[in-house]
A and B are shown apart, each in its own frame.
Chain A
Amino acid sequence: MTFVAFQGAVELGFIYALLALGSFVSYRVLNIADMTVDGSFTTGAALSAVCAIAGLPALGLPAAIVGGAAAGAVTALMQTKLKVQPILAGIITMTALYSINLKILGTANLSLFQIDNIFTHFGAARVALIVLIVLASAAALGLFFHTRTGLSVRATGDNEEMVRTSSINTDFTKTVGLCISNALAGLSGALLAQYQSFANINMGTGMVIIALASLIIGEAIFGRRCVPLSILAVLVGSIIYRIIMALVLSSDTDPSDLKLISAIIVAAAVSYPALREKWDYWGRRRGAKRDAQSGNNSNREQGDQEKRGGEHS
């Protein structure tokens, strides 16, 4: 893999990390399966592209945040007030957003080629701006989860009944969570549109899968502990996923095998902890068998203890 491809993978990894963070908020923190991100990602991209064409590229980012949040609010409204199933609510919003995004873009494909965008004055150092925006958003998210509202949002995902009996409005916390989740997705779309110099109505298709894959890879590596570590895990997971894709694309594989290979690699990365545990277990079993066959009682007892202790970890 060349340096250009690697740098590109890192830049894309950071951009998609925002999307993965948004999915982290909905899937892990709130425990809601939210499909809206396919639509809100494109909404962010559309708003950002339109602002860039109008000569105000920097305005595209806050506009995308607001647009994404609005999409999240609609989904939340359907879930909380209209009691629509979460997945269905997300799909409904995503479907409606297709038409809305077309209206915003004005066309199926809007080109920003050679138009000033937020990266124009950075040249090769645009990775610095991307990293700055992403880290700032991640830090803001981490800080938010330590505020009172943030803690309520976290609690809602863990045990909604309990939260409701504590007289916290779970409708409100769910709405806040979904707004933040889709605002992050919108911001990610906004950055991508200006990075790749075009926005297309279909660019959001399949984003949920990418976000989830990044999420799961990050968790496989870091485990699920405290919130700051989880946020870091999501960032790392997204970057690793893009590096994996860049590696697969750089190699001489048959182009039609692309999805198969990336699926195998993601599956391997994700099942790594379970595989590792199995490997350790069999290693201990073999060790215990060896000691037993050598007829040494004390060694056997020690082996049993290790086995028991190992299975509890």
Chain B
Amino acid sequence: MMILKRILSVLVCTATVCALFTGCGGKSAEFTIGLSQISDHPSLNTIRESFTAEMERLGYGPDRVSINYKNAQGDQSNLNSISQTFVGDQVDLIVAIATPTAQSAAAAAENSGIPVLFSAVTDPVAAKLVQDGQNPGGTITGTSDAIPVESIFGLAAQLTPNAKTFGFVYNLGEANSVSVINDAKAYCDQNGLTYKESTVTNSSEVQQAAQSLVGSVDAFFTPIDNTVAEAMPVFAEVAINAGLPIYPGADSMVIDGGFATVGIDYTVLGQKTAEMAIAILEGGDPATMPVVTLDNFRGIINKETADALNIDISGVTDMEVYTGGEE
């Protein structure tokens, strides 16, 4: 029938185009890992690259482990297809970077027995990926990029002791940000600090959100928020012009113009993820592997910002000082 012919030709066309773009495959490795990412984002890319490098460094390079990397390109509807592909291929382990990726992998792999290792999920208990941080109790575990809110506010108390009111700028649509902000609010309430918040939905709104808080806050605090991170340069400009320091959650945000942080180094996160992956591949049980959160954080100060704000950082000893220019 004509219609059947048309359907078949569409599918053949697809297969041909795919074949054109395909490299040569078919290597049989000792282990296969399905690595999925929600979008092309610097922090997530850093995790992936550091993961792959660490796997190789620890003796699990491309000759032993075949890593099948798929990226949903920011389109959540592709996540399910990617996870199902991995389950169908019966990979030995699925590594999912970011929360929706991990949730999609968890749902697809639920009855297949394939373990799931997540990375960069700030609150895995809230995302129902694990029952408990210490005893995941299932086939899912991973590394969390929860940031130490107390340490950052402690740093703020040390460097800018006069800052009593903080401005929170973040995207309500990012679950990771919301959980960190809730921790921050709890800390402020317990320690006699006040806060004001201004939320954004995309990076073009960050400038105005920051400007709306100028005049009523003494300093800014922002979590590891992808939306704010994208707009960090303009956020930094607004803050510096107003003479206010920004305490962000990630060191990359300090490099982009923030003031200081005791934050997450995504390279270390990727390395820890690789260690857990190797443990699982060698027979470890995810149910008993606690979720890893980083415990030694990279303190970093941006000297250019400090100078622009006239803040004296000469007394600071155990932190990296970023002087701008070179990376």
- Give A residues with C-beta under 8 Å from B: 1-9, 12, 16, 98, 102, 107-109, 111-115, 195-198, 200-203, 205-207, 210, 217, 220-222, 236, 240, 242-259, 261, 264-265, 268-269, 272
Contact = CB atoms under 8 A, between A and B. Distances in A.
8 contacts: A4-B84, A5-B89, A8-B81, A113-B128, A207-B77, A240-B7, A250-B88, A265-B17
Contacts of B73: 255-256, 258-259
A253 B21 contact: yes
Q: Chain B: interface residue count, which band?
A: 35 or more
Contacts of A257: 21
A255 B81 contact: no
Given A247-B18, A261-B17, A221 B7 contact: yes
Complex A-B, nearest 4 residue pairs according to Cβ-Cβ distance, in ascending order: A2-B88, A4-B88, A8-B84, A255-B71
Contacts of B110: 114
Interface string B99-117: 1100110111010000000
Given A102-B172, A203-B76, A251-B22, A198 B100 contact: yes
A233 to B, nearest CB: 9
A221 B6 contact: yes
Contacts of A256: 40, 71, 73
B291 to A, nearest CB: 15
Given A102-B172, A251-B18, A5 B88 contact: yes
Interface in B35-78: 37, 40, 69-78
A50 to B, nearest CB: 15
A268 B37 CA distance: 28
A207 B77 CA distance: 8
A4 B72 CA distance: 19
Given A111-B103, A197-B107, A243 B11 contact: yes
Interface stretch (B173-181, B274-282, B296-304): B173-181
Given A12-B80, A102-B172, A268 B103 contact: no
Please classify the interface of chain B as helix (H, G, I), strand (E, B), loop, or mixed, using the class held by over half of its residues. Answer: helix
Please classify the interface of chain A as helix (H, G, I), strand (E, B), loop, or mixed, using the class held by over half of its residues. Answer: helix
B40 A9 contact: no
A265 B13 contact: yes
Contacts of A4: 84, 87-88
Interface in B126-173: 126-129, 172-173
Contacts of B71: 255-256, 258
Contacts of B15: 247
B25 interface: yes
B178 A247 contact: no
B10 A272 contact: yes
Contact of B175 (A109, A240, A264): A109
A249 B81 contact: yes
Nearest to B106: A113
A248 B14 CA distance: 8
A114 B128 contact: yes
B9 interface: yes
Contacts of B80: 8, 12, 195-196
B23 interface: yes
Contacts of A254: 21
A2 B21 contact: no
Contacts of B129: 111, 113
A46 to B, nearest CB: 13
Contact of A246 (B25, B81, B107, B174): B81
Contact of A268 (B7, B17, B77): B17
B85 interface: yes
User: Which of A1, A109, A222, A250 has the most CB atoms of chain B within a 10 A radius of its CB?
Assistant: A109
